[in-house]
Amino acid sequence: MSILVIAEHDHHQLKSATLHTLAAATQIGGDLDVLVAGSGCQAVADAVAAIPGVRTVLLADAPAYAHQLAENIARLVVALAPGHRHILAPATTTGKDFMPRVAALLGVNQVSDITAVVGPDSFRRPIYAGNAIATVQVEDPVIVATVRATAFPAVATTGGSAAITPVPEVFEAVRTRFVSESLVESDRPELTSARIVVSGGRGVGSAENFALLYRLADKLGAAVGATRAAVDAGYVPNDLQVGQTGKVVAPDLYIAVGISGAIQHLAGMKESKVIAAINSDAEAPIFQVADYGLVADLFTALPELIDSI
């Protein structure tokens, strides 16, 4: 049986979350077909074709897919579903948006956010903000699952030569209209794939003070993250939120600055390889998960840290 993976991309470049999803698919085992749906996304299809182990790249290139609207992508995936035992997508906001729609249209359940493949129909996934890990077995004829990228390695990107097959059908919902998008442009590494993340909480105190974190991040080549409290307070935009309801990160080094360590925040970063924390409160729960804790005022510690690396 074969596996259909839906690629995540920005129409020009493949997102790394897809490479991690393909690793999960490889662990399940079977022929791999990858759907690239977008508008003007031939370059993405070419990149996917070069991934070793991919059998076919299905290229659905049409303006209807420019904004990855769930209604359109879901109907496209359902049309391509026959013959596939598994349908996988990264558990990004795009995957989370259209995949449950695919599952419901196919009359099956969805397994959300898998972190391990136990067998072809059994998976592990975190529940209760990662405070428990469920092992589930799917009895549905088709397995629809989203994959937590940080839980799987990335597959290689060169050496393959898959065929690219165009998908002529176009699905266009008439009751959903794209109005606008404001995407945050940044020269820093992407939060979910960065090797180092410097993350700030309410303790940072203001948007202006976040400049300290950006300076540290730029010295380290790191991405910047934040807690919900920091986003709610308007210090940083929403795309930086790490946690149960934000992004999940697992960098080599996570530096938590002025962050208390609420379970909802830990859910998004406790799989980091090394955690360092700077907090003025010696009792802050973040120290219970930090490999290295420094009890200090961030406004004196950060400038010193920036100068010493």
Partner 1 sequence: MKVLVAVKRVIDYNVKVRVRADNSNVDLANVKMSINPFCEIAVEESVRLKESGAATEVVVVSIGPKAVQEQIRSALAAGADRGIWVETDDTELSGLAVARLLAQVVRDEQPGLVLLGKQAIDTDNNQTGQMLAALLDWPQATFASKLEVKGAEVEVTREIDGGLQTLALTLPAVVTADLRLNTPRYIKLPDIMKAKRKPLATTSPAALAVGPGTGVKLLGVTPPTERRGGIKVESVAALVDCLKNQAQVL
Ligand X SMILES: Cc1cc2nc3c(=O)[nH]c(=O)nc-3n(C[C@H](O)[C@H](O)[C@H](O)COP(=O)(O)OP(=O)(O)OC[C@H]3O[C@@H](n4cnc5c(N)ncnc54)[C@H](O)[C@@H]3O)c2cc1C
Which residues, numbered 241-300, are part of the site for ligand X (CB under 6 A)?
241-246, 258-260, 262, 264-265, 268, 278-281, 284, 297-299
Considering only residues 190 through 249, tell me which ones interact with partner 1, judged by CB under 8 A: 192, 196, 220, 228, 231-232, 237-239, 244-245, 247
Instruction: Give the count of beta carbons closer than 10 Å to the beta carbon of residue 6.
Output: 26
Which is closer to partner 1, CB of 45 or CB of 261? 261
List the one residue from 179, 187, 208, 283 that touches partner 1 (CB under 8 A). 179
8 A C-beta contact, residue 257 and residue 302: yes
Q: Which residues pair with 199 in a beta bridge?
A: 225, 256
Q: Does 109 bind ligand X (CB under 6 A)?
A: yes
Nearest C-alpha neighbor of 172 from the set 70, 247, 250: 70
Which is closer to partner 1, CB of 53 or CB of 285? 285
**Partner touching 60 among partner 1, ligand X, none, CB below 5 to 8 Å by kind:** none
Q: What's the rounded Cα separation, in Å, for the pair 68 and 255?
A: 33
List the one residue from 11, 71, 85, 156 that touches partner 1 (CB under 8 A). 71
Sorted by sequence, the CB contacts under 8 Å of residue 133 that are 6+ apart come out as 115, 124, 125, 126, 127
List the one residue from 81, 156, 170, 295 that touches partner 1 (CB under 8 A). 295
Which is closer to partner 1, CB of 79 or CB of 163? 79
Q: Does 73 bind partner 1 (CB under 8 A)?
A: no
List the one residue from 38, 189, 203, 293 that touches ligand X (CB under 6 A). 203
Q: What's the rounded Cα separation, in Å, for the pair 56 and 47?
A: 12
Instruction: Count the site residues for ligand X by CB under 6 A.
Output: 30
Please give the backbone phi and psi of residue 159, each rounded to the nearest 5 degrees, phi first: 110, -15
Q: What is the CA radius of gyration of the chain?
A: 21
List the one residue from 22, 113, 194, 197 that touches partner 1 (CB under 8 A). 113
Task: Convert residues 125-164 into a mask of x (bound to partner 1 by CB under 8 A) and - (unbound).
Answer: -xxxxxxxxxxxxxxx------------------------
Considering only residues 26 through 65, tell me which ones interact with partner 1, judged by CB under 8 A: none
Nearest C-alpha neighbor of 254 from the set 218, 203, 217, 211: 217
Q: Which helix (H) or strand (E) holds 239?
A: none
| Residue recorded with tokens 């993250």 | 225
**Partner touching 38 among partner 1, ligand X, none, CB below 5 to 8 Å by kind:** none
Q: What's the rounded Cα separation, in Å, for the pair 214 and 223?
A: 8
Q: What's the rounded Cα separation, in Å, for the pair 286 and 270?
A: 10
Instruction: Say if strands 54-61 and 31-38 run parallel, antiparallel, or are unpaired.
Output: parallel
Instruction: Give the count of beta carbons closer than 10 Å to the beta carbon of residue 203.
Output: 22
Q: Does 13 bind partner 1 (CB under 8 A)?
A: no
**Partner touching 289 among ligand X, partner 1, none, CB below 5 to 8 Å by kind:** partner 1
Binding footprint of ligand X on the chain (CB under 6 A): 109, 136, 201-203, 227-230, 241-246, 258-260, 262, 264-265, 268, 278-281, 284, 297-299
